[in-house]
Amino acid sequence: MTFTMHTLDSATEDARAELERSKKAFGFIPNLHAVLAEAPSVLTAYKELHTLFQNSSFNNEELTVVWQTINVENECHYCIPAHTGIAHMMKVDPAIIDALRNGNELASEKLQTLRDTTLALLRLRGRLNSDHLDAFSAVGYGNQQLLEIILGIAQKTISNYSNHLADTSVDAPFQKYS
């Protein structure tokens, strides 16, 4: 199956409005958005989930930990380099970025616990045991953050799975991180 990389000219009216907002925000239409424009409601949902997750209680480092943990676990060829570039733009410590990409331990116990919990939520389909929950709580996180990780998983599921299906090419600004 071949997916169309929609442009402002090829997109439906509903998708065109979203793509125009993407172009205004990024200066270009990200290839993921061009693919998702095939289903305007999915494009809108993805972008809304992204905004909601960015506005969660997590700081830039924590957002990056959740995003990249999911991207690496799902082996997303598009999102790993894209979120590497985004993390650099967000001024995340390069040591954190590299550790996430390479599967190395994070220097911060809190960030490592966030990563471990995100992986457990993914791998166990939300069925965390008391050891997981106790470790998460011990570093200062609570139920709000557990639910916010699920929000991040929802967002990244849309992008990771769509990129696998469409074999989305990495945008030029992020190709150096491939």
DSSP string, 66-99: HHHHHHHHTT-TTHHHHHHHHHHHTT--HHHHHH
Nearest to 46 by CA among 15, 85, 90: 15
Nearest in space to 34 (alpha carbons), one of 171, 161, 172:
171
* Count, residues in the chain: 178
Contacts of 126 (CB under 8 A, 6+ apart): 150
Residue 174 near residue 81, CB atoms below 8 Å:
yes
Tens digit of each residue's pLDDT (9 = 90 or more) over 62-99: 999 999 999 999 999 999 999 999 999 999 999 999 99
Q: Residue 1 above 90 pLDDT? A: no
The architecture in CATH of the region 59-177 reads: Up-down Bundle (1.20)
The C-alpha atoms of residue 119 and residue 121 are separated, in whole angstroms, by 5
Mean pLDDT estimate for the chain: 97
Give the model confidence (pLDDT) of 108-138 as tens digits: 999 999 999 999 999 999 999 999 999 999 9
Q: What's the average model confidence in pLDDT over 29-33?
A: 98
Averaged pLDDT for residues 53-62? 98
Q: In the block, which residue shows the tokens 């494009």?
A: 43
d(CA 102, CA 72): 9
